[in-house]
Amino acid sequence: METLTNVNDLLSSHSALDIRCLDRIYLNAYVPNLQVPGQVTMFMRNHLKFPIPSPAIMEKIGNKFRGAVKEYAESNGIPIIHFKKKDRQIDVMKPYFKKVTSEKVVAIGVSQEFQSVFTGTKSTKLNSGWVFNFQKADRRVTVYYFYIFDKEFGPSFIKICSYFPYPAKVWLNGHEWAKIQATKANIEFSALSNGFKASSDPLKLQQICNKLNDKHIQSYFNHWINVIPTPLTSCDQKAGYWWELSMRQIEVSRTIVFTREIYTREVFESIVENNLGIGRPDEVKFIFNRRIRTDTKSEFKTRVVTRGTDVTINFFYKHSRVKEYLKDSKALRIETVINSPDDIGVQRRLKNLPELVKKATLINDRLTLAQSVSQSCPIETSQWERISQPSFEEGQRTAAIRFGDKRVMALAGALCVALNTVFGFTNKSLRALVEKLLDKPYSTSQMTYDLRKLRLKGMIIKLEKSNKYTLTENGLRFAVTYTKLANRLLPQLLATNQFKPEHELSQAYKVIETAIDNFIKDARIKTAA
């Protein structure tokens, strides 16, 4: 049976469901005006009215909170689970969620974890007693996980530290929210372990996924933080001492389900073979095994993780990554995992979630486009001439980008790196790659000149509100075509004399050589002595 391994064919003709959705949502909850030592002193002295701020006040609040948790669990029949060191907490909690029939706190987990908390040390002794200094330090302390089944979000949890200044975490799942909303809207669907496999109305399902925003999440938090016991009271809240949410880790996914499961594996295997063949993991690792920017704390790298026959491709960028894999062997899943919103120029406050989702969705789509183009990358004759010959663009004479020129080929190879497509590139970051491939000095002015040519010929565009560029579809075709011709096709064709006589290319070239010899003979042209 003939198989389809062309990404373009599969995406255009054999895609049964293509859903973009917020996936895992992990948030920090912090008290903004309890973050530095001076604020701690003001909280105890001005708000709580203690003349001498001291660690004893913290201990008193913490003990009261721990007692309230125990009382809350007993009065509501909620089990308290003490996690062991090697426990995978979500697995421990699954049986409790299976029993749920209504909205409630399902269980309370207790764990010892390192947290950034305030500690107090004695400073000087005054007539009225000791004066304490406060500073933050990482300490192993008790934290409480309130596992919640919410009527809108389903399984979720809020984690609160029992030590000052009581940092908290919130975990939600966007796919679970979308499933509940789809059920309410009477949209039939079948689910993956985390996502959608099929839907009776894909368009409406996508519209539902698009609706999830920061207001839904803030509403969830506002409700439950006033239901569960907390170390801060309503009086503290009225005085302005309350938690605010910021983004810690946000996953934005694209799930593509094909009409047949075999197509899903074929397209993924084809993506692995084709895209990593241009810049295989060891080659990409070699390129990025250096600091691209002075303010980049982590190196760029591409990794392929193998688990049995399953493969995950990871593209790392600063603290974040894009991962691509087979979901339950039934769907192609692309996930942009933003571990630090700063990586893509977004501020951390929860209100900036819509901007982050928009940018992460574009990253997923650019990766899909890049892989689609690299599978089938023909350049029309007119476009090839426009690229490879001098031309007038926007009223300006623009030099040629000639195939075979060492500098051009290094430029094309650098542009093929997937990270440049999905996250964008700057003059500085791209120059480092080109210089490495060129294996000789390549100046900033040379990079500026080449970027100008690429921009005028429609190969790159500048990202909005950024100093970064990304490739257009024609730019992708240029980079991939030039690189494939140089790395895959021409070296093989020019090395036909090294093939064994029975090789099909060797036999084909013998036919061509014979035809050329006969043509020369008929033209009465003798070979030069």
Residue 446 has pLDDT above 50, yes or no: yes
**Cβ proximity of 419 and 300 under 8 Å:** yes
- Please report, for residues 34, 165, 201, the alpha-carbon distance to residue 130 in angstroms, rounded to integers and kept in the order given: 22, 22, 69
Two structure tokens written together for 91 = 């697995």
Two structure tokens written together for 368 = 């899909």
Percentage, residues of the chain above pLDDT 70 = 80
Going by C-alpha positions, the residue among 226, 220, 224 that lies closest to residue 238 is 226
**pLDDT tens sequence across 178-233:** 999 999 999 999 999 899 999 999 999 999 999 999 999 999 999 999 999 999 99
Give the domain ranges of the chain. Answer: 1-27+174-218+244-376, 32-165, 377-488, 495-522
What pLDDT sits at residue 292? 43
What pLDDT sits at residue 393? 85
Segment (H or E) for 95: helix 89-98
**Cβ proximity of 338 and 356 under 8 Å:** yes
End-to-end CA distance of the chain: 55
Q: What does the DSSP assignment read for 145-186?
A: EEEEEETTTEEEEEEEESSTT--EEEEEEHHHHHHHHHHHTT
What pLDDT sits at residue 145? 97
Residue 440 has pLDDT above 80, yes or no: yes
Could you tell me the pLDDT band of residue 279, with boundaries at 50, 70 and 90? very low
What pLDDT sits at residue 348? 95
**pLDDT tens sequence across 153-163:** 999 999 999 99
Residue 142 has pLDDT above 50, yes or no: yes
**pLDDT tens sequence across 505-515:** 566 666 766 77
Could you tell me the pLDDT band of residue 278, with boundaries at 50, 70 and 90? low
At the top level of CATH, which class does the domain 377-488 belong to?
Answer: mainly alpha
Q: What are phi and psi of 281, to 5 degrees?
A: -50, -40
The owner of tokens 């996936």 is 23
What pLDDT sits at residue 266? 76
On average, the pLDDT of the chain sits at: 83
Residue 2 has pLDDT above 60, yes or no: no
**AA identity, residue 414:** A
What's the mean pLDDT in 416-428? Answer: 79
Q: How far apart are CA 402 and CA 93, in angstroms?
A: 61
All residues at 6 or more sequence positions from 42 whose CB lies less than 8 Å from its CB, including other chains: none
What pLDDT sits at residue 290? 39
Three-state SS annotation for 199-263: ECCHHHHHHHHHHCCHHHHHHHHHHHCCCCCCCCCHHHHHCCCCCEEEEEEEEEEEEEEECCHHH
Residue 330 has pLDDT above 70, yes or no: yes
Q: How far apart are CA 295 and CA 342, in angstroms?
A: 12
What pLDDT sits at residue 309? 47
Q: How far apart are CA 315 and CA 303, in angstroms?
A: 7
Could you tell me the pLDDT band of residue 110, with boundaries at 50, 70 and 90? very high
As a whole number of angstroms, the longest Cα–Cα distance in the chain is 118
